[in-house]
Amino acid sequence: MSTESILLVGNGGREHAMAAAIRNDTPDADLFIAPGNPGTARLGTNVPIAADDVARLLRFATDRSIGLTIVGPEVPLAAGLGDAFAERGLPLFGPDAAAARIESSKAFAKRLMAEEGVPTAEFEVFTDAEEAIAHVRSGTVPVVVKASGLAAGKGAIVCEDRDQAESAVREVMVERRFGDAGDSLVVEEFMEGEELSVFFLSDGSAAVPLVPSRDHKRLEEGDRGPNTGGMGAYAPVRGADAELIDRIRVSIAEPVLAGMAARGCPYVGFLYAGLMLTPEGPKVIEFNCRLGDPEAQAVLPLTRGGLVDPMRAVARGGALDGWKPDLAPGAALVTVLVSDGYPGSYPKGLPIEIPEDLEGPEVHVYHAGTADSADGLVTSGGRVLGVTGIGADLSEAARRSREAAGRIRFEGAKFRRDIGHSELD
């Protein structure tokens, strides 16, 4: 019997956590990660191909007879990686470009939700800056201004007053802070409540949830400061019981999948529902066409194997057929260490010291912005490492995560010591 070959696309902390889950499921598989990072190199073979280099990824998968490709980030999916693999008959778990619009176009996603009766914030879509400015000048506040396209999780601006809203519109559409992502803009009502992240596996019609999680986007403790790609996350979330998650599946995930299928772009892959738990019930903030990061670094360690089988089946045109994840008891919490200056400009190439005895069954260190150099491990990004603690409860998971994060050294290292504070206070 030949050894299975699996290709994982991406190079962040999410992909390190995914690689660990894949290796746990398939210890004998040939696992390739493109391009990977120093952490994934311990779990498989890194391949120096950029995640958005569709042509080279296609050639590699063909030459190596890859039996399953799993895509971590959104950019290659929006660029049509799934389409290219489908044309060659190569199994890939992830949506095609048309379905990936659920993330790559917030305007598309909002209109889809409105047409399918999925609860979300009231909104308007604009392609003209002056029209958008006139709208926010006459509308209610607070309001949220969002670049419609891909903006690395940083394209949403909460505006407390009309001056801030006008400034945000100009920042997105005139100054082009997020580049082409600002060609179209969504202005939506501000929703009150607590956020919740739910990941679903989808075969085009069925949606199976993983353990719910919550992330912290703000840079500073107390949820203050600028938005980032994520400073930490935890799972599970108090109050997000089986009844609530099933309600979200029935009222949000399944109608969206049905709507996508009816539009000729059935959604296959991981579907991320970013939700606000409002007094009226759960409402969608956004959808992503992949796992969230850093939430994946808390969710995947609580998923005790079995993910590769359903992903393989769906990638080959099959169905989930009643599959359910095997969830571990307890809790997981990830603390993200970032470079000084993040989310603005920051230095690179700074030496990183990780104690040899740091990692074990209860502590995992996931690489994100790291690189190997002649002198050892160095920083290469804004979000450098994610340190996940596992515990019998959230308090124990938090303690292990924070203690381990405090033992890692690189110049200017910063991290929040209050991830999960709303449930720990």
Same domain as 83, residue 165: no
| Long-range contacts, 305-308 (Cβ 8 Å, 24+) | 305/21, 305/24, 305/25, 306/25, 307/21, 307/22, 307/25, 307/201, 308/6, 308/21, 308/22, 308/25, 308/26, 308/68
Q: Would residue 323 count as lying in a domain? A: no
* Helix or strand (DSSP H, E) at 147: strand 143-147
Number of domains in the chain: 4
Count, in order, helices (H) and strands (E) of the chain: 14, 20
User: Does some domain include residue 90?
Assistant: yes
Residues 415 and 348 in one domain: yes
In a domain, 324, yes or no: no
Asked if 279 and 178 sit in the same domain, the reply is no
Q: Which residues pair with 224 in a beta bridge?
A: 220
Q: Dihedrals φ, ψ of 247, to 5°?
A: -65, -40
- 212, 179: one domain: no
Tokens of 156: 């949403």
* Domain termination site, one of 96, 117, 152: 96
Residue at 121 is within a domain: no
Predicted TM-score of the model (pTM): 0.93
Buried residues in 239-276 as b, exposed as e (16+ CB within 10 A): ebeeebbeebbebbbbbbbebbeebebbbbbbbbbbbb
Angle of CA points 7, 78, 87, to nearest 5°? 60
In a domain, 114, yes or no: no
**Domain holding 166: CATH number?**
3.30.1490.20
Q: Are 275 and 245 found together in one domain?
A: yes
Asked which of 256, 280, 315 is the last residue of a domain, the reply is: 315
Domain that holds residue 11: 5-96
Q: Please give the structure tokens belonging to residue 58.
A: 């296609």
Q: What whole-number distance in Å separates Cα of residue 266 and Cα of residue 256?
A: 10
Task: pLDDT tens for the chain, 425 residues: list them.
Answer: 468 999 999 999 999 999 999 999 999 999 999 999 999 999 999 999 999 999 999 999 999 999 999 999 999 999 999 999 999 999 999 999 999 999 998 888 989 999 999 999 888 888 888 888 888 888 888 988 888 887 766 678 888 888 888 888 888 888 888 888 788 888 888 888 999 999 999 999 999 999 999 999 999 999 999 888 899 999 999 999 999 999 999 999 999 999 999 999 999 999 999 999 999 999 999 999 999 999 999 999 999 878 999 999 999 999 998 899 999 999 999 999 999 999 999 999 999 999 999 999 999 999 999 999 998 999 999 999 999 999 999 999 999 999 999 999 999 999 999 999 989 87
Burial of 41 from C-beta contacts in 10 A (0-12 / 13-18 / 19+): middle
Task: Tell me which of 147, 163, 183 is where a domain ends.
Answer: 183
